[in-house]
Structure 1
Amino acid sequence: MEPFMKIESVPELLHLEPWREQYGQITAGFTGRAGGTGKQPYDSFNCALHVGDDPGDVLSNRRLLAASLGFRLEDWTCGEQTHGTDIAVITEQDRGRGSLDRASAFQATDGLLTSVPGVLLTSFYADCVPLFFYDPAHQAVGLAHAGWKGTVAGIAAAMVQRMELVYGTRPEEIRAAIGPSIGECCYEVDDVVMDHVRRMETGLKPDTEAGTRKLYRRSAKDSSKSMLNLKEMNQRIMIKAGILPIHIECTTWCTSCNSDLFFSYRKENGVTGRMTSWIGIKER
């Protein structure tokens, strides 16, 4: 069953439904593109400040999302993403960094972790893969932004290692989820990308319970290129890092195929808004 369920609401939200049902103290999910105040080509629920959208519209959308989840804009915490593997651990003193401007965000940061209730971790996407992490034993949550560069650099494994170091997390206890992103149906890449993928491939065995999903196949349009399955690749990295396959939720949504619901960098030739992934521990 699809774990990211579209909720008929304004703004347009997709909640990570299995976690919402099982872990009531956690909120996690992904935004659609509708229900905000943004104008073309960012219409309408863009929450990213770096794409050229009107900052007033972006902040209005951020307030709307935070309020919809029971948080304040002052709780919103994010990083400046650079397709790397740097991970920030968010303390109470860090609450709100990046909420109002880019300068105060965690710089060059694609991963966020916290155990502080009331902090809303956020990151931004328009085809890249959102990764969600939850340690129920230590009440810690995390987000990672994984484009192809972050994926082959192993940001998913880096998150697991950082959770072990900071919180004493046991990998087999982590719950993880892979959110809406461009699918292998649409993600055509060249040999520059595939050289990195092939170097990792031998160490990433498929989950035997999941069958024989391939990491990539040759493009039907251009035999010199390949169709890459970033979701599957991140899932295999998570499993190698010690997360149990039964503890990983994986979406079926493709952002490029569903550009009526999602912003898609590839489908819209680079000029578009960004969806927001979020995760937070609710204050009691």
Structure 2
Amino acid sequence: MSASIIQIDNLRKSYGTVDVLKGISLSVPKGQVVALLGPSGSGKSTLLRCINHLETLNGGQIRVNGALIGYEERGARLYELPDRAIARQRRAIGMVFQSFNLFRHMSVLRNVMTGPIDVLGLPKPLARERALALLDMVGLPDKAEAYPNQLSGGQQQRVAIARTLAMEPSVLLLDEPTSALDPELSKEVISTIRKLADKGYTMMIATHEMSIAAGFCDRVVFMAEGHVVEDRPAPEFFASPREARTRQFLDHYAKTAH
């Protein structure tokens, strides 16, 4: 693995009096696929939203590609960047949500083309070529002219992944990408994410799907109550969890899977 793309130092996030993230520190090297596991309310989704500066921070720092995200340093203090500067930073940080957020009035092809044309200034023919290649990669080459309401949930999520990749981010954040799907449709999306892992994309995936975490993630970060409880290579995490809280979590999933 090479130098870290994502560097998180002592990240704290609160909502009112509720502390959601309590001093998270993580480093993610280029090309690594990290699964974020943990019970609901553990802070997984909030962590991803902070990396993309969809949430302001109450403490700590996040750097992506060496750049401080969402803030600039002036002396010993941090000041939030203006919206336009934050939007520029987000170009390098792709985010895939559990609710697909496609433009309903646009065709699949147009959904994937819009960002590169409007944000990156890519010429329309080049944006179209890139979009068609990405639709082929996610297994939807025949759906370019379809509209979102003509697609299954799994197909819509794969279009959302293609749309995110069209911006050529250096990091891909996936927030429960299969939670809105039934098991059969989840398999389509998991297969697509596995393909991205094989291609060397740097990813952090908040998920309840053990088939993602155990199947192709390099590393598992297990969170509970706003803390990182365990951070291990995936095979070691599943074979010999060290912490009692981790074992309790894995035992629960083993029981519900049968």
Establish whether TM, by shorter chain, passes 0.5: no
Which structure: greater strand fraction? 2
Question: Normalising by the residue count of structure 1, what TM-score does the alignment of the two structures yield?
Answer: 0.29
What is the TM-score with the length of structure 2 in the denominator? 0.32
